[in-house]
């Protein structure tokens, strides 16, 4: 076994960066159980109904990791339904399917994004109180998920926190939020509140390290269209214990692929030891969005299934030129308006059909070219490591982990054989 481990280390060293060998394709499928419950129909390119959409995403699109958001006390607004019980049950299903889990802590009762980072209604509103609550809440959630068999492999400490986390107070009445103050907001170009914000992040990251020591911690922002802001932001986090820079990239908000490329190049130069993942991206298959700050790219990527496919392919082509990029996650590919009211208004960025149909009759395959194109992100990697459809019968009867210990067939991770000098996949990876 020592020889095998030496060989493994030699292979790793000869591969250059981890990004050159291991690219993770994922998706934010936080609404999939709700669509299933509503009777949405998911079909493949031939029109065949899929009885288990999660396995369809795994086997047909090559999705290896599911991103799942978590709210403290969700208000049940559109899309805001993922409480701890939801995540515990769904997370266990994801892990039992042999997929990885990315847990997205929103640390709020509603959407956390650049415009709103509302402190949960039941939490303290002082800096010290929030810091303590962040640690305790993160610890409790991860302990429960660990016990439930839903241990995350990646953890986002906050969602799109470019301007802070738990930084705003607000009232909630009649289904509406009203911001009252922003006592803990930050700005990449100013020193205000950064010490407090770092305390918040450190509290969350500390709990993650203690409860899920093998998980990778992600700090997620949405300034990919502003290279200088992104650089300044992460330079302020040099004392923080985290692993991955997570970015949102939607071209209609974050500018062209060339700008994204500049940001990725800059991150590789300034933070050579950090992986970068695009943890959110999507494009429209119909009805291009309107509103302030929207960049119109319809001449390049029409708001159609074909345009959506071209966006996916162009994005992947750009990402593959950046060795520091190790992950790509499509946001809400399960959007499937098949006669249900699961998510309104329809965003038309999902990878299934748009249009109106009664429940059970959804034409759920017109946008699938983009769905299947996502596989290109992982092309060129070792199929034995990333292939979820590995024939278990063809595997050796006994596998060993990289420390030489025998492992069960249900083991998750890389494994080696005793007599063959190369790495093979375990049945689930």
- The phi, psi pair for 90, rounded to 5°, reads -70, -40
pLDDT value of position 426: 43
Nearest CA among 79, 76, 166 for reference residue 118: 166
Q: Which residues pair with 280 in a beta bridge?
A: 248
Assign 3-class secondary structure to 356-409: CCCCCCCCCCCCHHHHHHHHHHHCCCCHHHHCCCCCHHHCCCCEECCCCCEECC
What's the pLDDT score for residue 338? Answer: 63
Residue in 41, 4, 25, 19 with CA at minimum distance from that of residue 359 = 41
pLDDT at 345: 78
Confidence of residue 241 (pLDDT cuts 50, 70, 90): very high
**Which pLDDT score, from 0 to 100, does residue 310 have?**
97
What is residue 22's predicted lDDT score, i.e. its pLDDT?
86
CB 36 within 8 A of CB 56: no
Per-residue confidence at 42, pLDDT binned at 50, 70, 90?
Answer: confident
- Give the per-residue pLDDT at 401: 59
- Overall fold of domain 22-391: TIM Barrel (3.20.20)
Rounded to whole angstroms, the Cα distance separating 34 from 365 reads: 19
Confidence at residue 363, expressed as pLDDT on a 0 to 100 scale = 56
Per residue in 263-289, pLDDT (tens digit) is 999 999 999 999 999 999 999 988 777
* Predicted pLDDT at 286: 84
Contact call for residues 194 and 176 (beta carbons, < 8 A) = no
pLDDT digits (tens, 9 = 90+) for 62-94: 999 999 999 999 999 999 999 999 999 999 999
Q: Which pLDDT value is given to residue 220?
A: 98
Quote the DSSP letter at residue 125: -
Q: What is the pLDDT of residue 358?
A: 43
User: How much is the mean pLDDT over the chain?
Assistant: 86
Q: Over 70: is that where the pLDDT of 425 sits?
A: no
Give the confidence band of 380 by pLDDT, cuts at 50, 70, 90: confident
The confidence score (pLDDT) of residue 3 equals 46
Q: What is the pLDDT of residue 80?
A: 96
Pick from 24, 17, 11: which is nearest to 422 by CA?
11
Q: What is the pTM of this model?
A: 0.85
Q: 428 pLDDT exceeds 50?
A: no
- Can you give the pLDDT at residue 159? 98
Beta strands in 15-54 (DSSP E): 24-28
Residues of the chain with CATH 3.20.20.80: 22-391
Residue 135, CB-side half-sphere exposure with 13 Å CA sphere: 12
pLDDT at 39: 85
- Calculate Rg over the CA atoms of the chain: 21
The reported pLDDT for the residue numbered 364 is 60
CA–CA gap between residue 178 and residue 47 (Å, rounded): 45
Residue 391, pLDDT > 50, answer no
């Amino acid at each position: 076994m020592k020889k095998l481990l030496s060989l493994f280390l030699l292979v790793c060293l000869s591969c250059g960066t981890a990004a050159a060998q291991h690219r993770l394709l994922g998706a934010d499928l936080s609404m999939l159980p709700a669509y299933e419950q509503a009777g949405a129909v998911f079909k493949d390119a031939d029109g065949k109904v899929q009885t288990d959409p999660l396995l369809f995403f795994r086997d047909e699109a090559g999705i290896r990791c599911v991103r799942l958001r978590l709210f403290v006390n969700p208000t049940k607004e559109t899309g805001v339904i993922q409480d701890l019980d939801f995540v515990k049950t769904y997370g266990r299903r994801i892990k039992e399917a042999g997929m990885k889990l990315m847990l997205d802590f929103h640390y709020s009762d509603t959407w956390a994004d650049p415009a709103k980072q509302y402190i949960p209604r039941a939490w303290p509103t002082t800096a010290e109180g929030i810091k303590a609550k962040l640690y305790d809440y993160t610890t409790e959630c991860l302990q429960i998920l660990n016990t439930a068999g839903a241990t995350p492999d990646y953890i986002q400490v906050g969602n799109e926190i470019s301007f802070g986390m738990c930084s705003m107070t607000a009232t909630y009445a009649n289904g509406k939020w009203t911001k009252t103050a922003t006592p803990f907001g930050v700005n990449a170009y100013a020193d205000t509140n950064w010490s407090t914000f770092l305390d918040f992040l450190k509290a969350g990251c500390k709990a993650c390290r203690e409860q899920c020591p093998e998980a990778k911690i992600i700090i997620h922002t949405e300034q990919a269209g502003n290279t200088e802001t992104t650089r300044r932001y992460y330079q302020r986090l040099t004392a923080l214990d985290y692993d991955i820079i997570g970015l949102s990239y939607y071209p209609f908000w974050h500018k062209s692929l060339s700008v994204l490329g500049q940001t990725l190049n800059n991150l590789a130069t300034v933070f050579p030891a950090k992986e970068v993942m695009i943890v959110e991206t999507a494009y429209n298959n119909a009805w291009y969005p309107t509103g302030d700050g929207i960049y119109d790219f319809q001449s390049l990527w029409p708001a159609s299934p074909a345009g959506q496919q071209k966006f996916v392919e162009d994005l992947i082509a750009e990402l593959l030129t950046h060795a520091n990029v190790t992950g790509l996650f499509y946001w809400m590919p399960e959007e499937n308006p098949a006669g249900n009211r699961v998510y309104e208004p329809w965003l038309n960025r999902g990878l299934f059909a748009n249009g109106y149909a009664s429940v059970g009759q959804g034409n759920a395959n017109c946008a699938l070219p983009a769905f299947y194109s996502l596989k290109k992100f992982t092309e060129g990697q070792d199929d034995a490591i990333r292939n979820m459809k590995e024939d278990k019968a063809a595997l050796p009867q006994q596998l060993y982990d990289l420390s030489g210990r025998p492992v069960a067939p249900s083991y998750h991770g890389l494994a080696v054989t005793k007599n063959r000098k190369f790495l093979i996949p375990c049945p689930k990876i």
